[in-house]
């Protein structure tokens, strides 16, 4: 498997797009989440992750394109909403979690909502770290 044209798609470096050359399908465009959340054994995502960790793929830095600020903000809000949805289950009243874990998740969710208040938003954002108690 060969990789080429890798580049970050967002200022937070959460997503990489690249071309993957496979024997079966030839060259296919591929999107990789840098948090590794989509890596599964035997998948292209796992192979991309390993190649990235081994330094076998050079990733071009994020370059703001001609897309407007509104589109860039929409991409960031969509990512924020995706991260919020990952913790929705945790906020259910009957979810079995300690008060400490619930508070950590509440703080994480608030930090996600506050992304738009960061000084360099939307050009340069800092994503909060997901609490260890979140699956």
Exposed e or buried b for every residue in 81-119, given b needs 16+ CB within 10 A? eebeebbeebeeeeeebeeebeebbeebbebbeebeeee
- pLDDT score recorded for residue 66: 58
pLDDT of 1-34, one tens digit each?
A: 899 999 988 777 888 889 999 888 889 898 888 8
Sheet of strand 2-8: strand arrangement: 2-8, 15-22, 26-33
| pLDDT single digits (tens) 37-76 | 777 887 888 888 889 889 999 998 887 665 667 778 888 8
Asked whether 5 and 32 are in contact (CB, 8 A), the reply is no
pTM > 0.85: yes or no: no
**pLDDT (0 to 100) of residue 9:** 84
């Amino acid at each position: 498997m060969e990789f080429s044209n890798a580049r970050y798609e967002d200022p937070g470096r959460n997503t990489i797009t690249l071309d993957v050359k496979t024997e079966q399908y030839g060259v296919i465009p591929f999107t990789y989440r840098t948090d590794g959340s989509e890596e599964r054994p035997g998948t292209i995502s796992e192979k991309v992750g390993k190649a990235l960790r081994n330094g076998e793929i050079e990733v071009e830095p994020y370059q703001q394109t001609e897309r407007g600020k509104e589109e860039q903000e929409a991409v960031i809000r969509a990512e924020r909403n995706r991260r919020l949805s990952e913790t929705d289950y945790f906020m259910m009243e009957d979810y079995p979690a300690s008060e400490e874990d619930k508070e950590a998740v509440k703080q994480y969710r608030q930090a996600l909502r506050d992304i738009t208040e960061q000084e360099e938003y939307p050009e340069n954002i800092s994503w909060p770290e997901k609490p260890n108690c979140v699956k």
